Structure 1
Amino acid sequence: GEAARVQMLTGGENDAVWAATDGGGARKFMEHGQITLEFSQAVGNLNDFVRTVVTDQDGSVWFATPVGAERLLERSWFNDPINGLQTSAFGDPNLNDIRDLLVDGSGDLWVATGGGVRHKRGLTYLDSDEIFRADNSNLPEDTVETLAQDAHGAIWAGLFDQGLARYQDGEWSTPVVSTELPSAIVTDLQVQGDTLWIGTALGLARYDLQNNALTIETQLAGSVIESLALDRNGKLWVGTRTADIWQLQNADAPLSNAERWRVFRASTFQALAGLAAIPAKIELTLAAAPPELNAETNAGMWAAIDRVGLFQWDGESWHNGDPEGNLPTDFLWTLYSDLHKPVLWVGNEGGVTRFDGESWGTLRDRDGLRSPSIYAIAGTDEGGYWFGGRTGLSYYRPEQSAPWVHLQGTPGGAQVLAETDQPVAEAGRQLTFKLAYGDLLTPQDELKTFYRLTGANAPQVFNNWREFRPPLAIAFDDAGNYAIEFRVRDQAFNYSDVQVSTLTVEPAARVVKVPWLGQVPRNTFQTLVALGLVALLGFAYVSMEIVQGRRRVAEAMIRSYNPYVSGEPVRREDMFFGRHNLLQRIIDTLHNNSIMIHGERRIGKTTLLYQLASRLEEVEDPDYWFVPIFIDLEGTRQETFFHFLIEEIVHKVQNIDSSAELISAMEQLHYHNVARADYTDREFNRDLRTILRALQQHSEAHHPGKQLRLILLMDEMDVINGYDHLVQQQLRRIFMRDFAATLGAVVAGIQISREWDRIESPWYNLFNEIEVEPFAREQAIELLVEPVKNYYSYEPAALEFIIQQSEGRPFRLQQYALEAVTNMLAASRRRIKLTDVQAAHRSIQSSTNHAHQDEGLLRTVAASTQ
């Protein structure tokens, strides 16, 4: 950009230098000028005209600007890597794929990554880390899944498929031979005194650190161990891939003794979550209950089960840990208990969520997180927290300044008695309480407000704090004296002082004078009025519905209305049934992730992609502008793969707007000048970058404040199974580039090949998998009944026959319904009978048999010509 005049220079922490500029915001120079951070209107929302920079005793940085003082909590957030910073170590993205975090006894941070082990001494950037890999140390491999520190100070690393390694006295070694473990894939580690518990993909082992002896826990043989944790009584808990949770009851009992382990089966959590079944390939993590979150016992435990929920063990039984649905997603990856204070952290696909026993709050990438999904959490002695995910590392230290709150005037609906200056209200009358509140750092729309009722007359259910959005509207049914308490919480979980409003509620007037009836009890009068209104409205509504219903049915019979679709994807939204929850789940996940949906042929994957494209174009997301592009890959050859992708993208983008900027950008693409077979991933990346840049400019003009998210909806992804591994890796690298934050995908296929014999990660590891399963009974009934609800009806026997024959396959349900309605109309009826469905069954069976005969004939002819 253009040069800006420097107004002043001042020193900062750790030998940093701050520069205030006239028109360019502020700059921070670190590591002797090797690293520069920009703070301006474009980066950090700071005014571009900065006169002075001052650092206070709390580490906050203050900027003097023409519109006032602005504050940066520099010690609150630290991210590594920095957005846009290119360093020598940053070249390997696997170093920022965080698997686990460990703060050792001296306060240093150890980071398990997909590219080795990182050792950080303080808030330093990646280039300053001590990095251990297989090529520069005795670490057996680069992919490290978990870390632990034993009582002697040694660091233990659980590896992806090379067992276990130990770092001691500056060297890595392998004291335990990987072949002696239940599996060389180590999933979690837990230190308990002089015992190291080792979770693997085929069971649990314990290693005696004093005697160097290894023992296999026979009762867990063959189980995929997902998580290990100790409760505050020192008992070991083990979570498995099947969602079973084991507790070591008697460590002195023989290995095969049934009293050694207590098991909580997956059915317990399935019932608490209200699920028909536990999803396959779940991830499960455990954490001891922090103090005060289980104040009555030290045996408390929390369990997060991916796509199932959060659960709490109180020492006697399991409970739903999030009954009100405060977590932003059901993709739950990790738990961290702060054993020094009542704080539980939940790392999830939407960020990291905090629970302090009274309220919930989520930090997201827009709040400062480097990675939008959090896989690992570790706390520090000074009250800070490290968060790690697939794209880097963040350090967060909550600030300590509390918000404020005041009541504004007398509650609406109440009167103030002059002699007592006390608000008085009538029982049953709605009252409105208005608040003024704020915080020095947290924006008002992100502050949380709470209230509770106290006093002898307050219902017990209102004694706990409840979140609400001001103003508060509430009515008191019983006379008496009440106290309503209010408080506010900021993003760092600082609570304001409690503000109290006292109130006297008097009995309501007992009678109402009604013409011809005289004095009537108030409650009776209110009931009569309500019943009269309901009856009048009900009569009018029913009469209108009867008339309109008869007209609709008559018109439908005349034009032979048959809404079902057979043999092709459903494109109309009003004919899309049974998968709305799945569709919303995909949309909620697409902000920061890519999805792979798979399932058997004709199960509805293409329909799902069409509906997803339609919904994404219409969704009013507060943070993102989605640009969905449907791409059918069927029949696409490897040589023209990238050309075909860019062709579909260009076609869609050209239809968005005819602005000169977009047209100009499209004309600059290599796509116009390179032959199909010569168009490689190199040209594709350049063209895609140009398109994304043009769309971003369009977004800033037409969707201000929103981030671009280009979503490729690629159908028939099975075609890539036959492509060369190089092409598959080229596709993977596209989603790993610096513009990956604006690019996502939903790919669909029947069976994506998992055969992979190369060192680098396979392309499909980028995607969260979702299986499209056959319809449940309720979904099948919805698909059959809803399209004809206002026109025709089914006999129960007809409905049951279709459900039984279709086995939950949507295309079969549509096929039977289409044929049955045709038969019904031919008989001039509006009720679908069993005879109509049975005739449809015979027709479908006949068509299927003919198709099989034709297929067999073609195979015979083909064989005879060879």
Structure 2
Amino acid sequence: MLITAALLAGCSDTPPPEAPAVASAAAALEIDDPWQVIDAFEVGRDVYVRALALEPGADRLWVGTSLGVNEVDLTDQSLRNTFTRADGLANEYVFSIFVDSGGYTWMGTNGGGASRYKDEQWQVFFPMHGLADYWVYSFAQQDDGTVWIGTWAGANEWDPDSGEFKTYYDELVNEWVYGIGVDSKQRVWFGTEGGVSMFDGENWQAWTHRDGLGAANQDNLPISLNTGLGTRSRHDLNVMADGQPTYNPDYVFCIHVDKQDGVWAGTWGGGVSRFDGEQWRNYSVDDGLAGALVYSIAEADNGDMWFGTNKGLSRFDGEHWFNYGREDGLLSEHVYSIALISPDEVWVGTRGGVTRFGRAVAQQEAGKAE
């Protein structure tokens, strides 16, 4: 495995050792798994990679970290640029990145508002401009160009023609919004700290654990008290209590709408749930998921689902689960972000850096070409 230079200059410390948490599913199932780590890019032992976004048609990957944003050239995996507040970024701690249909890159920060970038031009959005809050955690876009923004004080609907923001707060099942997805009917789905909400343009609906969201607490884990009802200082995303993982199945870290309009929700301790329009189907560690806390979700062109958890990376092909941990080359077991670069390449963000996965056959062919 090749370990390349750090993406952020001056931050190349190796992350501290962590106990391996995920066994190789290929070995357990005695079936071939073509995926393996190709290389890794370190960003510093205490630096978090919370967001990854591929810019379509540009061979460019945006990497959002707790120290700024990196622009990576995918043709040779080199670093093109690093952006901080000195360059126009609203705040260095970036939690979400999204490239819209117009080629603008949106960056949501932890307490610094949102930034939009294109062709070396920056625009910053604060509450004084109509943004709901300074804490920005997700973006999505409808076919008409409308951009939706998830914050800790509700969701924004941004009109690309007028540049005006509309805020939804009371309509949501919970105002602390972490994930947003749009389905083929242009309905907007929101993952919050209190469940999932959906807006069809006129009406709102909501689902919680009582409706089937999130797997049962089979291990009797402590209930998480970090519910969003206190102050922002309580929102440190600490998932442990007295050395144990905690449980709050209504707390949704991420949302993804798949090609069949199934809605996937990554929960805190309840695994990942899929809503088919009528009922929720939960997938837990007992089913093969690496960890019960699901931070990120991505879907491959072939229908494979990828999940970033607190115990490593999972891939689900609809029948089998394949899990990847530190023993497979991950820099850390907590996987916060996933970017599908091609059918043969996946990048994942963790504490300490980014790990690049590829199909073994694709790697062998690349070696022959060299």
In structure 2, relative to structure 1, the CA distance for the partners of 1:323 and 1:109 (3 Å cut) is: closer
**Structure 2 residue 222 is matched with structure 1 residue 280:** no
Residue in 2 aligned with 1:571? none
- The alpha carbon displacement at 1:75 in A equals 9.4
1:372-771 correspondence to structure 2 within 5 Å: 372-400=333-361
**Structure 2 residue 108 is matched with structure 1 residue 150:** no
Any idea what SS the aligned residue of 1:237 has? strand
- The alpha carbon displacement at 1:160 in A equals 0.8
Equivalent position amino acid for 1:178 in 2: P
Separation in structure 2 between the aligned mates of residue 271 and residue 381 of structure 1, nearest angstrom:
30
Any idea what SS the aligned residue of 1:220 has? coil
The higher relative CO (CA closer than 8 Å, separation ≥ 6) is in 2
Equivalent position amino acid for 2:178 in 1: E
Is the CA contact (8 Å cut-off) linking 1:80 and 1:125 kept in structure 2? no
- The alpha carbon displacement at 1:279 in A equals 3.3
Separation in structure 2 between the aligned mates of residue 379 and residue 356 of structure 1, nearest angstrom:
15
Separation in structure 1 between the aligned mates of residue 4 and residue 135 of structure 2, nearest angstrom:
43
Higher helix share: 1
Is the CA contact (8 Å cut-off) linking 1:167 and 1:173 kept in structure 2? yes
Any idea what SS the aligned residue of 2:51 has? strand
Residue in 2 aligned with 1:119? 71
Residue in 2 aligned with 1:310? 272
In structure 2, relative to structure 1, the CA distance for the partners of 1:222 and 1:328 (3 Å cut) is: closer
Any idea what SS the aligned residue of 2:85 has? coil
1:73-112 correspondence to structure 2 within 5 Å: 77-81=38-42, 93=45, 96-105=47-56, 106-112=58-64
Is the CA contact (8 Å cut-off) linking 1:78 and 1:123 kept in structure 2? no
In structure 2, relative to structure 1, the CA distance for the partners of 1:278 and 1:305 (3 Å cut) is: farther
CA-to-aligned-CA distance 1:582-630 (integer Å, 9 cap, x gap):
xxxxxxxxxxxxxxxxxxxxxxxxxxxxxxxxxxxxxxxxxxxxxxxxx
Unpaired segments ≥5 residues, structure 1: 1-25, 31-72, 82-89, 254-259, 292-297, 402-439, 441-866
- The alpha carbon displacement at 1:343 in A equals 0.6
- The alpha carbon displacement at 1:240 in A equals 0.7
- The alpha carbon displacement at 1:329 in A equals 2.4
Separation in structure 1 between the aligned mates of residue 53 and residue 188 of structure 2, nearest angstrom:
19
Residue in 2 aligned with 1:187? 137
Residue in 1 aligned with 2:172? 220
Equivalent position amino acid for 1:224 in 2: W
Residue in 2 aligned with 1:320? 282
Is the CA contact (8 Å cut-off) linking 2:136 and 2:149 kept in structure 1? yes
Equivalent position amino acid for 1:264 in 2: W
In structure 2, relative to structure 1, the CA distance for the partners of 1:157 and 1:323 (3 Å cut) is: closer
Residue in 2 aligned with 1:133? 84
Equivalent position amino acid for 1:237 in 2: W
Is the CA contact (8 Å cut-off) linking 2:4 and 2:39 kept in structure 1? no
CA-to-aligned-CA distance 1:623-682 (integer Å, 9 cap, x gap):
xxxxxxxxxxxxxxxxxxxxxxxxxxxxxxxxxxxxxxxxxxxxxxxxxxxxxxxxxxxx
Is the CA contact (8 Å cut-off) linking 1:352 and 1:362 kept in structure 2? yes
CA-to-aligned-CA distance 1:442-497 (integer Å, 9 cap, x gap):
xxxxxxxxxxxxxxxxxxxxxxxxxxxxxxxxxxxxxxxxxxxxxxxxxxxxxxxx
- The alpha carbon displacement at 1:373 in A equals 1.9
Residue in 2 aligned with 1:360? 321
**Structure 2 residue 215 is matched with structure 1 residue 264:** no
- The alpha carbon displacement at 1:372 in A equals 2.5
Residue in 2 aligned with 1:178? 127
**Structure 2 residue 247 is matched with structure 1 residue 247:** no
In structure 2, relative to structure 1, the CA distance for the partners of 1:123 and 1:113 (3 Å cut) is: farther
Any idea what SS the aligned residue of 1:183 has? coil
In structure 2, relative to structure 1, the CA distance for the partners of 1:235 and 1:270 (3 Å cut) is: closer
Any idea what SS the aligned residue of 2:354 has? strand
Query: Percent identity over the alignment?
Result: 22
Is the CA contact (8 Å cut-off) linking 2:68 and 2:91 kept in structure 1? yes
- The alpha carbon displacement at 1:315 in A equals 2.2
Is the CA contact (8 Å cut-off) linking 1:182 and 1:221 kept in structure 2? no
Residue in 2 aligned with 1:162? 112
Separation in structure 2 between the aligned mates of residue 197 and residue 232 of structure 1, nearest angstrom:
15
Is the CA contact (8 Å cut-off) linking 1:204 and 1:221 kept in structure 2? no
TM-score (norm 2): 0.74
Residue in 1 aligned with 2:241? none
Equivalent position amino acid for 1:310 in 2: V
In structure 2, relative to structure 1, the CA distance for the partners of 1:125 and 1:107 (3 Å cut) is: closer
Separation in structure 1 between the aligned mates of residue 106 and residue 217 of structure 2, nearest angstrom:
39
In structure 2, relative to structure 1, the CA distance for the partners of 1:270 and 1:146 (3 Å cut) is: closer
Give the root-mean-square deviation of aligned CA atoms: 3.0
Residue in 2 aligned with 1:202? 153
Higher strand share: 2
- The alpha carbon displacement at 1:162 in A equals 1.5
Separation in structure 2 between the aligned mates of residue 365 and residue 111 of structure 1, nearest angstrom:
21
- The alpha carbon displacement at 1:29 in A equals 11
Separation in structure 1 between the aligned mates of residue 3 and residue 253 of structure 2, nearest angstrom:
42
Q: Which has the higher Rg, Structure 1 or Structure 2?
A: 1
Equivalent position amino acid for 2:216 in 1: A
Equivalent position amino acid for 1:100 in 2: A
Separation in structure 2 between the aligned mates of residue 367 and residue 133 of structure 1, nearest angstrom:
32
Is the CA contact (8 Å cut-off) linking 2:344 and 2:358 kept in structure 1? yes
Residue in 2 aligned with 1:521? none
Any idea what SS the aligned residue of 1:354 has? strand
Equivalent position amino acid for 1:379 in 2: L
Is the CA contact (8 Å cut-off) linking 1:386 and 1:395 kept in structure 2? yes
Separation in structure 2 between the aligned mates of residue 173 and residue 121 of structure 1, nearest angstrom:
23
Q: How many residues align?
A: 305
Equivalent position amino acid for 2:358 in 1: R
- The alpha carbon displacement at 1:143 in A equals 0.7
Separation in structure 2 between the aligned mates of residue 150 and residue 221 of structure 1, nearest angstrom:
26
Residue in 2 aligned with 1:734? none
Equivalent position amino acid for 1:336 in 2: A
In structure 2, relative to structure 1, the CA distance for the partners of 1:123 and 1:74 (3 Å cut) is: farther
Separation in structure 2 between the aligned mates of residue 182 and residue 320 of structure 1, nearest angstrom:
32
Separation in structure 1 between the aligned mates of residue 122 and residue 149 of structure 2, nearest angstrom:
18
In structure 2, relative to structure 1, the CA distance for the partners of 1:372 and 1:125 (3 Å cut) is: farther
In structure 2, relative to structure 1, the CA distance for the partners of 1:270 and 1:121 (3 Å cut) is: closer
In structure 2, relative to structure 1, the CA distance for the partners of 1:396 and 1:123 (3 Å cut) is: farther
Equivalent position amino acid for 1:363 in 2: Y
Residue in 2 aligned with 1:229? 181
- The alpha carbon displacement at 1:272 in A equals 4.8
Any idea what SS the aligned residue of 2:134 has? coil
Separation in structure 1 between the aligned mates of residue 276 and residue 72 of structure 2, nearest angstrom:
37
